[in-house]
């Protein structure tokens, strides 16, 4: 485990599976929304993935400092999905499906992803390959929930750096890149 998110009393369980039908509702929504991308007031697409800039980020119930803090995230680099914009505030969703408002200054365009968060606690390990194909050599095995930096995605595979090791992982095994999305660092 990577010591992912912060002050939550209980983490919601996510559905196990690697097919779209078995993804958590938040991932299903993200995948569906990726096909219906629209531009937000910032001129950037909605929805889109970003990451947390800081190791301490407050998520609020509304878009402003006068709104109460709902959660505190304590992991920089944690991927978040921006689903709405208001002034300098971004409504985000995390891999658990929780939503809140975070000031844009605390978010980064650096793309990160969580490996198969819906498989956490199931005793499985995910292969990281030397090339973008199933029959390529395995360079590492990681536990679900590990966070890594995305170098690129071709729509089916993502090249990621996880714990200092770089390799390829099936795009269907990450939360931080939409199915079919192409990403360049």
One domain for residues 96 and 43: yes
Instruction: Give the pLDDT score at 45.
Output: 96
Instruction: Give the pLDDT score at 185.
Output: 75
Instruction: Give the pLDDT score at 35.
Output: 56
Please report whether residue 68 resides in a domain. yes
One domain for residues 56 and 102: yes
Instruction: Give the pLDDT score at 37.
Output: 76
Please report whether residue 2 resides in a domain. no
Please report whether residue 54 resides in a domain. yes
CATH of the domain at 132: 2.30.30.40
One domain for residues 137 and 177: yes
One domain for residues 27 and 99: yes
Please report whether residue 11 resides in a domain. no
One domain for residues 27 and 105: yes
Q: What is the mean pLDDT of residues 127-136?
A: 97
Average pLDDT of every residue of the chain: 85
Please report whether residue 104 resides in a domain. yes
Nearest to 96 by CA among 63, 118, 64: 118
One domain for residues 89 and 119: no
One domain for residues 91 and 144: no
Phi, psi (deg, nearest 5) at residue 33: -65, -30
Q: What is the mean pLDDT of residues 128-134?
A: 97
Q: Which of 109, 139, 173 is the last residue of a domain?
A: 109
Instruction: Give the pLDDT score at 59.
Output: 98
Instruction: Give the pLDDT score at 22.
Output: 35
Total domains in the fold of the chain: 2
Residue 46: pLDDT above 80? Answer: yes
Residue 108: pLDDT above 80? Answer: yes
Contact in structure between 154 and 132 (CB atoms under 8 Å): yes
Give the structural domain span for 75. Answer: 20-109
One domain for residues 86 and 143: no
For 68-92, the pLDDT digits (tens) are 999 999 999 999 999 999 999 999 9
For 12-45, the pLDDT digits (tens) are 222 222 222 333 434 444 444 445 679 999 999 9
Phi, psi (deg, nearest 5) at residue 152: -165, 160
Tokens of 167: 């390799």
Instruction: Give the pLDDT score at 146.
Output: 96
One domain for residues 98 and 129: no
Residue with tokens 């939503």: 99
Please report whether residue 8 resides in a domain. no
Instruction: Give the pLDDT score at 23.
Output: 37
Please report whether residue 25 resides in a domain. yes
Q: Would you call 20 helix, strand, or coil by DSSP?
A: helix
Nearest to 15 by CA among 34, 35, 3, 29: 29
One domain for residues 36 and 98: yes
């Amino acid at each position: 485990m990577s010591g992912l998110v912060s002050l939550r009393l209980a983490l919601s369980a996510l559905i196990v599976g690697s097919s779209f039908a078995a993804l958590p509702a938040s991932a299903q929504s993200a995948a569906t929304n990726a096909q219906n991308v629209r531009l937000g007031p910032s001129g950037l697409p909605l929805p889109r993935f970003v990451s947390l800039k800081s190791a301490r980020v407050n998520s609020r119930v509304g878009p402003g400092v006068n709104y109460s803090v709902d959660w505190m995230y304590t992991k920089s680099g944690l991927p978040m999905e921006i689903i709405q914009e208001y002034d300098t505030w971004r409504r985000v969703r995390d891999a658990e499906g929780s939503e809140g408002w975070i000031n844009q200054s605390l978010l980064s365009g650096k793309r990160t992803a969580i490996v198969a968060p819906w498989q956490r606690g199931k005793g499985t390990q995910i292969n990281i390959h030397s090339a973008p194909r199933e029959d390529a050599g395995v360079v590492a095995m990681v536990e679900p929930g590990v966070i890594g930096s995305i170098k690129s995605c071709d729509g089916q595979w993502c090249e990621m750096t996880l714990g200092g090791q770089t390799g390829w992982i099936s795009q269907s095994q990450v939360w931080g890149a939409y199915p079919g999305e192409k990403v360049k660092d």
